A and B are shown apart, each in its own frame.
Chain A
Amino acid sequence: MKKPLFILAMTTLLVGATALANTIKIASVSPLSGSQAGLGETIKLGAQLAVEEAAPWFKERGINLVFVPQDDQASPDVGVAVARRLVNDDAVLGVVGHLNSGVAIPASEVYKEYNLTMVSPANTNPQITERRYPNVNRICGRDDIQGPVGAEFAVNDLGAKKVYIIHDKTAYGQGVAETFRAKALALGAQVVGFDGTEERSNFNLLIQRMRIMRPDVIYFGGMFDQGGVLLKQLRERKVEAIFIGPDAMDSSELVKIAQDAVIGAYYTTVAGPVELFPAAKSFSERYLAKFNRPAESYALYAFDSAQVFIEAIKKLVEANPDAVPARADVAAAVRQVAFDGITGSIAFDDKGDRLRSDYYVIKFETAAYPGKTVKSITASPSGD
């Protein structure tokens, strides 16, 4: 009785070991709890769909492709802890993440040490790719283009003369607000206020200041959860200046928070709305069928980020079917990919920025998400 059990145990162990060696994990890291869970969940689901759809191809070749969603709670500390956990799991070959630039920058230092490749669907801070790490890429645009795109739109298209800028003091919000300010000043507009605030509920002080400064345009560098409340209170206090925000306003939650106040507000985004990409149509149908909720912009970008890994790893597996690719090879292969994603053609330059990225200006004409695209600009890579 003892012997067969022993053999059984040994076989399981061996089978287990081989199965382990043939597992490839792709992780998503985004906030799944806390205040930004709405956007984070979108990133997770987009990546999940890509991985699950690619799994059968890998299965045929005896490889188990697994999706491992992680929660960084939008906090740099947690993000780094998650990064350390991921680098220690040899099966993890790719990370789709993060949502917040302030989290992605420290976490990517960890990935770099262990050669783990990261493709970001959402981190627009220039610093992400300016460090020229071979393993850090992004599929979205950059704030040093996004901010100026907003400023150009405000001054040239809307004819703004006085702008009031508010930001949330994060790497992302303040970063995009500063590039907006620089461009607006260069275009001859007057910046009548530049305030950072961590306030979440009572913006009346700022609003009273605006009543004195009488700006034509208010630019908010920050997330939808804070911006929505600000926008609502602005309109309640009869401040009618045009409201512009960056891509973190791109959430259906904004409409829920600001309700009717959202009408007439603009945001610039690097993630074009689903309707704009022909290939995205069938994606949104599959997404809706699977998760029972409409796909928001970041879902597309997360899907394409995961798609980058799948394309790269497929190539490596085809070239060498007997071995699981090494992390360094994945990093190199990711820089070589060239394919048509659902957000347009995807290829990276030597920094890890996309060769071609589009920026959109979107306006809420009704209190419904998403708004209508009023302008689209194709910008050169890397902002230089």
Chain B
Amino acid sequence: MDGALLEILPSVILEGLLVGCVYAMIALGYTMVYGVLGLINFAHSEVFMIGAVTGVEVFRYLSPHVENPFLLLILATLIGGSVSGLTAIAIERLAYRPLRKRGYTNRLVPLITAIGISFFLQDLVRLVEGLWHSEFYMNYPSYAELEETHDLPLAMSIQVKSIIVIAVTILMLAGLWVLVKKTRLGKAIRAVAQDTSTASLMGIDPDRIIARTFFIGGFLGGVAGVMFGMMYTQVNPFCGFIPGIKAFTAAVLGGIGSIPGAMLGGIVLGQLETLGGFYLPFFTDGAIGTEYKDIFGFLILVLLLLCRPQGLLGKAQKDKV
């Protein structure tokens, strides 16, 4: 038994990496909005869900016309990402901006708004899908090309779609890094994040930059939604909640506001959960079941934040005078 436990370790780590990638992709959206506005956008989990649901619709309507599953997946990713991005812009424009313009001082106000929007969007999608297809559970179709399994050394095996998830995650992080560090838009985003009023004195329109930040975060969330749907095959209007909470945790773990931190946090959380959830039942002879994986993950989070409140890669916040 012990030999088998060790033998399967690489596979377990690989599973953890996959889950971690999904968390990381969503966490990027939380961290970007937080970086610019200092706001935890809890509606981001629903932006993610909308991407996943849009992906189902793309597969539903385009699969009769497009045969190549890879092309379909690319289309689903782009359309899902765009719809999510536009949703994120709409949320910002209709809910957060009016609050900002009224000069709120209490941070709880936008936070509660975000939670409200989150509920609103869940039931809106449920209503729309219910009327449109009378479906609650929506399924991604299976394609042999995407589900083909390749054997790897160390008794690991990986499906083509898992490779896609890892590749997309790396691409996203790299793309976002280039965007933020190397482009004019990125410079403007950083400027607004640093000091909104000074940035506007330098000829930057903060509202436009904030809207674009929301779009980018939402787009990444939507792509993550399509990836999630493809990996785990079934989505529903409430499927954003758990991954959203986990991704938020990942963002905090990595240091909220930091892009590499979100990535690292996602992967660390994925590993902790998977390793804890897998090995604890064996070591405790089943007394602690796999369902305790979340408790294990969050316990580590609490311990880590006690020692390093700013997160793994976050910068310690100095009080503004």
Binding site for B on A (CB under 8 A): 33-35, 37-38, 169, 193-202, 204-206, 208-209, 211-212, 225, 228-229, 232-233, 236, 238, 253, 256-257, 259-260
A195-B136 in contact (CB<8A): no
Task: Give min CB distance, A222 to chain B, whole Å.
Answer: 13
Contacts of B128 in A (CB 8 A): none
Closest 5 CB pairs of A and B: A201-B232, A204-B15, A205-B277, A229-B234, A212-B4
Task: Report how far A228 CA is from B11 CA in the complex, Å.
Answer: 23
Of B178-186, B204-212, B284-292, which binds chain A?
B284-292
Task: Give min CB distance, A188 to chain B, whole Å.
Answer: 20
Task: Report how far A253 CA is from B149 CA in the complex, Å.
Answer: 26
Interface members, chain B 204-257 (any A CB < 8 Å): 228, 231-236, 239, 242
Task: Report how far A212 CA is from B1 CA in the complex, Å.
Answer: 8
B278-A208 in contact (CB<8A): yes
Binding site for A on B (CB under 8 A): 1, 4-5, 8, 11-12, 15, 18-19, 126, 130, 136-137, 139, 141-142, 147, 149, 157, 159, 228, 231-236, 239, 242, 274, 277-278, 281, 286, 289-291, 293
Cβ 8 A contact of A205, one of B4, B233, B239, B274:
B274
Nearest neighbor of A261 in chain B, beta-carbon distance: B142
Contacts of B242 in A (CB 8 A): 200-201
Besides A33-B130, A198-B291, A228-B234, 11 new A-B residue pairs in contact (Cβ under 8 A), listed by A number: A34-B136, A197-B289, A205-B290, A208-B15, A212-B4, A236-B149, A236-B159, A253-B137, A256-B139, A257-B233, A257-B234
B290-A201 in contact (CB<8A): no
* Main DSSP-derived SS at the B contact region: helix
Contacts of B289 in A (CB 8 A): 195-197
Contacts of A200 in B (CB 8 A): 234, 239, 242
24 pairs from A and B in contact (CB 8 Å cutoff) = A35-B236, A196-B291, A197-B289, A197-B291, A201-B228, A201-B242, A202-B232, A204-B18, A205-B274, A205-B277, A205-B278, A206-B290, A208-B12, A209-B281, A211-B11, A212-B4, A212-B8, A225-B234, A228-B234, A253-B137, A257-B139, A259-B139, A259-B142, A260-B142
Cβ 8 A contact of A35, one of B12, B136, B274, B290:
B136
Contacts of B1 in A (CB 8 A): 212
Contacts of B130 in A (CB 8 A): 33
Nearest neighbor of B19 in chain A, beta-carbon distance: A202
Contacts of A212 in B (CB 8 A): 1, 4-5, 8
Task: Report how far A60 CA is from B242 CA in the complex, Å.
Answer: 56
B293-A205 in contact (CB<8A): yes
Contacts of A195 in B (CB 8 A): 281, 289-291
Q: A200-B239, A205-B277, A212-B5 are in contact. Are A229 and B19 (CB under 8 A)?
A: no
Tally A-B pairs: CB < 8 A: 85
A257-B137 in contact (CB<8A): yes
Nearest neighbor of B15 in chain A, beta-carbon distance: A204
A209-B278 in contact (CB<8A): yes
Task: Report how far A199 CA is from B233 CA in the complex, Å.
Answer: 14
Nearest neighbor of A260 in chain B, beta-carbon distance: B142
Nearest neighbor of A259 in chain B, beta-carbon distance: B142
Contacts of B293 in A (CB 8 A): 205
B232-A229 in contact (CB<8A): yes
A238-B291 in contact (CB<8A): no
Task: Report how far A233 CA is from B139 CA in the complex, Å.
Answer: 13
Contacts of B8 in A (CB 8 A): 208, 211-212
Task: Give min CB distance, B246 to chain A, whole Å.
Answer: 11
Task: Report how far A259 CA is from B281 CA in the complex, Å.
Answer: 31
Contacts of A197 in B (CB 8 A): 289-291
Contacts of A253 in B (CB 8 A): 137
Nearest neighbor of A203 in chain B, beta-carbon distance: B232
Nearest neighbor of A35 in chain B, beta-carbon distance: B136
Task: Report how far A37 CA is from B234 CA in the complex, Å.
Answer: 16
Task: Give min CB distance, B276 to chain A, whole Å.
Answer: 10
Of residues B233, B242, B278, B286, which shows the largest number of chain A Cβ atoms within 10 Å of its Cβ? B233
Task: Give min CB distance, B58 to chain A, whole Å.
Answer: 18
Contacts of B126 in A (CB 8 A): 33
Nearest neighbor of A236 in chain B, beta-carbon distance: B147
Contacts of A233 in B (CB 8 A): 232-233
Contacts of B18 in A (CB 8 A): 204
Task: Report how far A233 CA is from B232 CA in the complex, Å.
Answer: 8
B291-A201 in contact (CB<8A): no
B290-A225 in contact (CB<8A): no
Task: Give min CB distance, A212 to chain B, whole Å.
Answer: 5
Task: Give min CB distance, B159 to chain A, whole Å.
Answer: 7
B11-A229 in contact (CB<8A): no
Task: Report how far A233 CA is from B130 CA in the complex, Å.
Answer: 26
Task: Give min CB distance, A321 to chain B, whole Å.
Answer: 43
Task: Report how far A11 CA is from B223 CA in the complex, Å.
Answer: 66
A201-B277 in contact (CB<8A): no
Task: Give min CB distance, A258 to chain B, whole Å.
Answer: 9
Contacts of A259 in B (CB 8 A): 139, 141-142
Contacts of B236 in A (CB 8 A): 35
Contacts of A202 in B (CB 8 A): 19, 231-232
Contacts of B235 in A (CB 8 A): 201
Of residues A169, A225, A228, A236, which shows the largest number of chain B Cβ atoms within 10 Å of its Cβ? A236
Contacts of A38 in B (CB 8 A): 136
Contacts of A205 in B (CB 8 A): 15, 274, 277-278, 290, 293
Of residues B8, B149, B232, B286, which shows the largest number of chain A Cβ atoms within 10 Å of its Cβ? B232
Cβ 8 A contact of A201, one of B142, B239, B274, B278:
B239
